[in-house]
A and B are shown apart, each in its own frame.
Chain A
Amino acid sequence: MNRSEAKVSEGEVIGVRGMEERGGVGATFDAWYWPPETSSPQETQVLEGPRGLRLCAPVLTTEALRALARTLRAARAEILLDRNVDEIVAAVSAAACRFLDTADPVRAMALDLTGRLTGYSAAMSELVLDGMARDWLEGPLRRLLTSEFDDPGVLDGFRPGPAGSRVRAFGPALSFHVGAGNVPGVTLTSMVRALLVKSAVVVKPAAGDVALPTLFARALAQHDERLARCIAVIYWRGGQEDLERAAMEEADLTIIYGGEEAITALRRIAPPQASILPYHHRVSFGVIGRESLQGDTAAETALAAARAAVIFEQRGCVSPHLYYVERGGQRTPEAFAEQLADALRRLEEELPAASLDAEEAVAIHQLRGAGELRRAAGAGVTVYRGEQAGWTVIYDESPSFEPSCLNRVLRVKPVSDLADVVPLIRPYRRYLQTVGVAGAGGRLAGFAEELGRAGVTRVTSLARVAWPPSWWHQDGLAPLRAMVSWVDLEPGD
């Protein structure tokens, strides 16, 4: 969209009310979007969001939610099924562009809200928004489609299939998306994927990721009002079982991002026929081989390793919790830990740390103190730490796989050989996701095979760790194919 078309006042675009901080009462964000032709909610409520931001949302009844679902389902039949995939890609991309246009008030609001919701510094909010929004543009969306379907036209009509047949793919008429709050944009990615397979969406974002889906829906409505009729975004506090059950009953597919507890809770109340696609919480880590520990490359490797963890403040499923470092290179694992600390210190300037809440900071101080005591007890531990709670590297000779408390806390653990990592991670196979690998040299393919057998679903370079491509097989799935069902039209006799 060019600038002249976006002459709307900021308030209208983003629906943020009272950004002035009245008498200690923080800003309030309208955390919902309903298709325009549905009657607006009878009543709204203001809920406490993260870090003092207040979230205004409709007070929903199950009846209202069911009515909304019927409206969306009808809009899908009338509008979405009538569009071809190329048109949907173009519309999504045009709306997403507004997140990237530095002169657009939608971007400004997205950045402001991201900072408020996550505690990210301004630089981190920009980096994350840029990185996430890239994937909602035309090129990456097309790559996703062609990666999943030999001919994405199967989403538009019958296309040639095997042995003279023709095949056609349908997405769910209505999908219900339950978001997680850890990384801004992930919920919108789920929403966009559903739109690509022509599914109308009801999105319940988590408080921490409420801004981008809502802002996107409003931007899309300005660009393509009809398409936006297939979207509803509504925030409510998780655990309202009547609403969640009703949404799962209405939807043909429920996609849940979250921890074990959240997913189990929803599964428990789901109707028996519900189709559920869960994206569980995952852990990722890095492995540094000796080829990357040469005198001239080690510092560079450390910087890439630091950056991989710092992006998203380590809260992404792709974010490394710890680094296994191979012995026998020019630099020892211990020396690498020091270089990693150095890199984290340097990154503080470019990407200042998030403002942490008490629990996050407390966890860091507990971990540091315990690490220092273990060092004092001769446990082969060294703690490197930044000012305040800024960053922490714990070099620890005990090889066991240990998750981080996040927010720039990295353990470095030595291994004699890359292959030694595999048995250490095997117990966690159902949780493993990304492994960032450096310096494996000619061993990479064999090592990736071993990692895959142990349950890892993505092996990549340190530089790419934070930014999986649009087409990635997230958690081992083909995300579009996981949503569609097929119709075979077999050849006549």
Chain B
Amino acid sequence: MLDSNLVNDLVRLLRRGVDSSLDDDAFGAWAVRIFAYQYAHNSVYARYCQGRGVTPDTVRHWSEIPPVPTSAFKELALVCGSRREAQAVFETSGTTRGTERRGRHYVLDLTLYDESLLPNFHAHLLPDREGMPMLALLPSPLAAPSSSLSYMLGCVMDRFGTPGSTFVVEPDGHVRYDDLHKQLDQLGNAGSPVCLLGTAFSFVHWLDRLTAEDRRFRLPAGSRIMETGGFKGRSRVMERDELYESLGDRLGIPADHIVNEYGMTEMLSQFYEPVLRWRVTAASPRLGGMRPRGPDATNVAGGTGLHVPPPWVRTRVLDPVTLEPVPRGEVGILQHFDLANLGSVCAILTEDLGVLEESGFRLLRRIEGAEPRGCSIAMDELLAARGAAST
């Protein structure tokens, strides 16, 4: 059980919403307070920090708190207390080979997930309304209890989904396209805008089908999309620009109503592109010049690639070799500090590349299971061999 005073205080902080400000000192105070708690209640993490010469007494700034790499979630249970008390265990997605170890995030208190998720989602997907019909191209949380994304969308749908909202993917992965299309026709006839949610891959798959059937929807104005995730282990890869163009063509949803969400199983908080939010609040700086150029441009998520953290998350961009912070504008690995991760570890070293910006970071590329560049075989291939040999 997590310390209830700490949970309550944290929930109060999250309820202040995404527009509240938390300056570096205030954030730091929170970070150190939670670090001390995690240090005291997660002996593995405590020994890891000792190994790096860091204890709650030595930390002068939150950035000194040792991050754990995402891959560590594959090796151990990183939890403050007993994993048996977890209310949910979220697993990282595997590749299609399905042979590698999966990361597990033991979530002791889902309240923190919900309280972090809802205001942030609302601000970025529903800045102009309190609710709308939601169709998720994913299995429901009941069908996929270990998927943090299914849980997230279930939570969002419970709170913001109006009647007709549903998950259109069966537990076995079968997509009920007929139902989906019928729903869209009905909503379209009623002039009711809709929010579609899914992984980039699920949209690509659907678009392939719409193209094959030469079918188009003209979804009512105000319709929107939340897309997330990459193409890990998928045979069909589509560039982001092409995807957005195709979504515009087949569904009639303009790029400024397509919001990329960047989240990870290892974190309870998420990041969104503020395209829709800024458009609606008219607080938008001009986005035209922000589209990155160069070799990474094709991998940029969404229209701008800019992702904004909620006040209770800080992101650092580190030199991939030295792990020292890089100057603003330079590419590095993202390291997040998520206060909502009270029950596991707040400081997470990712495998994702990005660039620090004034109001967040630009996500450049998710390095998904980087493969060794040798004429040695990839980890995945080797593990597949082991899988095959043992069956």
Residues of chain A at the chain B interface (Cβ within 8 Å): 48, 180-183, 186, 208, 257, 259-260, 280-284, 312, 314-317, 319, 321, 356-363, 365-370, 372-377, 388-389, 403-406, 426-428, 430-431
Contact = CB atoms under 8 A, between A and B. Distances in A.
B285 interface: no
B390 interface: yes
18 contacts: A182-B375, A208-B373, A257-B375, A281-B376, A281-B377, A315-B375, A357-B320, A358-B333, A359-B320, A362-B351, A369-B72, A372-B48, A373-B48, A388-B322, A388-B323, A389-B321, A403-B378, A405-B372
Given A375-B51, A376-B44, A428-B382, A314 B374 contact: yes
A374 B367 contact: no
Contacts of B332: 358
B372 A356 contact: no
Given A259-B378, A369-B71, 5 more contacts: A362-B333, A373-B68, A388-B323, A428-B385, A431-B377
B385 to A, nearest CB: 5
Chain B contact surface mostly? mixed
B138 interface: no
Nearest to A24: B294
B379 to A, nearest CB: 6
B16 interface: no
Contacts of B98: none
B72 A362 contact: no
**Interface pairs A-B: 4 shortest CB-CB:** A376-B47, A369-B69, A427-B389, A315-B374
B76 interface: yes
A317 to B, nearest CB: 4
A282 B375 CA distance: 6
Interface string B294-320: 010000000000000000000000001
Contacts of B321: 356, 361, 388-389
Contacts of A257: 375
Contacts of A404: 372, 376
A440 to B, nearest CB: 23
B390 to A, nearest CB: 7
Contact of A358 (B47, B69, B320, B375): B320
A315 B373 contact: yes
Contacts of B367: 358-359, 362
A362 B372 contact: no
B116 interface: no
A324 B350 CA distance: 31
Contact of B379 (A312, A314, A403): A403
B11 interface: no
B24 interface: no
Given A359-B370, A427-B389, A431-B385, A370 B72 contact: yes
B76 A377 contact: yes
B36 to A, nearest CB: 17
Interface of B: 43-48, 51-52, 67-72, 74-76, 78, 295, 320-323, 331-333, 349, 351, 353, 367, 370, 372-379, 381-382, 385-386, 389-390
Contacts of A361: 320-321
A408 to B, nearest CB: 12
A368 B66 CA distance: 13
Contacts of B382: 283, 403, 428, 431
Contacts of A360: 370, 373
Contact of B351 (A183, A283, A366): A366
Given A360-B373, A377-B44, A427 B390 contact: yes
Nearest to B77: A377
A44 B351 CA distance: 36
A427 B367 CA distance: 28
A430 B389 CA distance: 11
A430 B384 CA distance: 12
Given A369-B72, A388-B322, A316 B375 contact: yes
Contacts of B72: 369-370, 373
Given A180-B375, A388-B322, A260 B381 contact: yes
A366 B69 contact: yes
Nearest to A317: B375
Contacts of A181: 373
Contacts of B349: 365-366, 369
Contacts of B70: 366
A280 B385 CA distance: 14
A389 to B, nearest CB: 5
B45 A376 contact: yes
Contacts of B374: 182, 281, 312, 314-317, 319, 406
Given A315-B376, A359-B370, A403-B376, A374 B76 contact: yes
A280 B43 CA distance: 44
Nearest to A118: B373
Contacts of B43: 376
A329 to B, nearest CB: 28
Contacts of B47: 375-377
A357 B319 CA distance: 10
Contacts of B373: 181-182, 208, 315, 360, 406
Contacts of A259: 377-378, 381
Contact of A406 (B67, B68, B331, B372): B372
Contact of A284 (B372, B376, B390): B376
Nearest to A377: B44
B370 A405 contact: yes
B69 A365 contact: yes
A191 B44 CA distance: 53
Contacts of A374: 75-76
Contacts of A428: 382, 385-386, 389
Given A358-B320, A365-B323, A321 B386 contact: no
A118 to B, nearest CB: 9
Contacts of B69: 365-370
Contacts of A180: 375
A381 to B, nearest CB: 10
A366 B377 contact: no
B320 to A, nearest CB: 4
A345 to B, nearest CB: 17
A373 B351 CA distance: 17
A373 B75 contact: yes
Given A369-B69, A370-B69, A428-B386, A363 B323 contact: no
Nearest to A186: B375
Contacts of A366: 69-71, 349, 351
Nearest to A315: B374
Nearest to B47: A376
B365 to A, nearest CB: 8
Nearest to B351: A362
Nearest to B381: A260
A388 B43 CA distance: 27
A363 B71 CA distance: 9
Given A366-B71, A375-B51, A377-B44, A430 B385 contact: yes
Contacts of A321: 376
Contacts of A281: 374-378, 381
Contacts of B75: 370, 373-374, 377
A376 B51 contact: yes
A389 B20 CA distance: 39
A114 B51 CA distance: 39
Contacts of B74: 370
Contact of B71 (A183, A370, A376, A430): A370
A136 to B, nearest CB: 19
Q: Of B47, B71, B333, which is in contact with the most chain A CB atoms at under 10 Å from its CB?
A: B71
Q: Of B69, B367, B373, B375, which is in contact with the most chain A CB atoms at under 10 Å from its CB?
A: B375
